[in-house]
Structure 1
Amino acid sequence: MSLLPIKRLIVVGSILVFSIGTARAQTPSPEAMAAARDLVTTLKLSDQYKALLPVILLGLKPALVQDRPEIERDYNAMMPTIADAYTPYYNAMVDGIATVYANSFSVDELHQIAAFYRQPVGQKFLGKSQAILQQSAQIGEDTGRKAAEDLKTSLTQALRQKGHKL
């Protein structure tokens, strides 16, 4: 797994963790929650949450296995049961993000958003959004780096004109 998807999963997980406290402030109606869960499924967010388990296990493995083959064998053998133990956390993540959506949009809006993402253009957007986000982030990083370099040069020149030795 490359680093960018891992970062995205960490960001999604972080957003969820910070949003759960906010989401508890309001209790959405059952109809709103059903519409929000449908949207979460349509957006394939639940697939992203399912992908967190291997990332978590990969992060835990070095600390637990400690380069010992006998522990690694047992660790690997335990993976199917670990997946079952993860289910409550997975369900909590889906419910938490659904609550955020349910508190942010009306039931009608949730249905409209889900309908958009079910259309070919919505599916195309979902399919391309990861690459677009990565490219956009790269553009932001490149532009920020260039701006910082230019600002440093300008500020250095201005400070030198005032007699400072840099």
Structure 2
Amino acid sequence: MTRFALHCAVALLAVSAMVTSVSAQEAAPAAPAAAAPATPPAAPSHTAAAVAFLKAAQLTKGFEEMIPAFADQVRLRYVGQRPEVADIINDVTISLIPEFVKRQDDLVTALAKLYTDRFSEDELNQLTQFYQTPLGTKLAATQPAILQASVPIVQEWSRKLTTDMAVRIRDEVKKKGPQL
């Protein structure tokens, strides 16, 4: 599983846990959220520092594999629709991969903005320096396995928490008379 996929899985897991917890409670009317002020674009050197950090932390690792995988999904869909022109579809798909690989920079730049919004250029340079040390390299290399191993732990924790929460709420409401 790629680091990107693991990040997505953990994020989806966290959202799922929150949704499950919220669904166990009565929905209260939500106050309108204030629009967040747009942050000005980061200086090119700040963005470059964020990109260097992303690469040093190996957070872009696996992006190269995603583009051919996505192309293959699209190719298979078209081949399924028009198997008689499979050879042409295959050739065109292969020829277009370099064009789409260039878009990887768009993703890296978008991710870099997440970091330039939260870290100064100096902080990003310090983080990059850390990830270039033996310990930082080890952290970057082992983090995917740690994230993958954490998914079932988070799932079990959130399942137990929501179950226990539901029991406690039901028991406390029952003490006041109504039964859920």
Stretch moving more, 111-120 or 35-44: 35-44
Give the letter for the 1:39 counterpart.
F
Q: 1:108 aligns with which of 95, 118, 122?
A: 122
Offset at residue 110 of structure 1 (A): 0.9
Q: 1:47 aligns with which of 53, 56, 61?
A: 61
Give the letter for the 1:8 counterpart.
L
Offset at residue 133 of structure 1 (A): 0.8
Alignment of 1:133-144 (within 5 A): 133-144=147-158
Q: Counterparts of 1:75 and 1:55 in 2: how far apart (Å)? A: 15
Cα 1:10–1:138 change in 2 (3 A) is: closer
Match of 1:81 in 2: 95
CA contact (8 A) 1:36 1:102 kept: yes
What per-residue deviation string (whole Å, max 9, x for no partner) do you get for residues 42-91 of structure 1? 12233332222133223323421116544333333233322122134212
Structure 2 segments unaligned to the other structure (5+ residues): 13-35
Q: Structure 1-normalised TM-score? A: 0.71
Match of 1:131 in 2: 145
Give the letter for the 2:125 counterpart.
H
Alignment of 1:1-166 (within 5 A): 7-8=5-6, 25-66=39-80, 69-150=83-164
Higher relative contact order (CA 8 A, sep 6+): 2
Q: Counterparts of 2:43 and 2:4 in 1: how far apart (Å)? A: 33
RMSD: 3.3
